[in-house]
Amino acid sequence: MPHWIKRTDFWVRRRASLPLLLVGLLAVLLLFFNEETSMRLNMAYDQEIRDLRKQIKMTSDSAEYYRSKREAILHGREDLEEVAREHYRMQRPTEDVYIIR
């Protein structure tokens, strides 16, 4: 047996008692495997937080897009006409519109 293992074994026998080690091991097991504080649950929560942050970023990006579209429609006649024609299929009274799918 290597020398450092013998020294570690000797130190553990002199400094620590078996009940103290068992209580410490029990505390560690409860911290890691208890349902409310388990590492698995914490990792799942971290993944959920990352997913929600991605959703927030996508939502704020799309909100910014629609905000800029709204401003363009409010301040520009060409943009308003484009939206009316493309999205709502509006036309002038003298025009014929053909929809190709």
Helices 77-88 and 39-75 sit at what angle, rounded to 10 degrees? 120
DSSP character for 34?
A: S
The amino acid that residue 87 corresponds to is: H
Instruction: List pLDDT tens digits, range 28-79.
Output: 888 777 777 777 788 889 999 999 999 999 998 888 888 888 887 888 777 7
Q: What is the pLDDT of residue 10?
A: 82
Taking alpha carbons only, the member of 91, 87, 51, 89 closest to residue 66 is 87
Q: What is the pLDDT of residue 50?
A: 97
- The neighbour count for residue 83, using CB atoms within 10 Å, is 15
- Single pTM value for the model: 0.46
Give the CA distances from residue 27 to residues 8, 23, 34, 48, in Å, rounded to whole numbers and listed in that order.
22, 6, 10, 27
Q: Where are the domains of the chain?
A: 1-36, 38-101
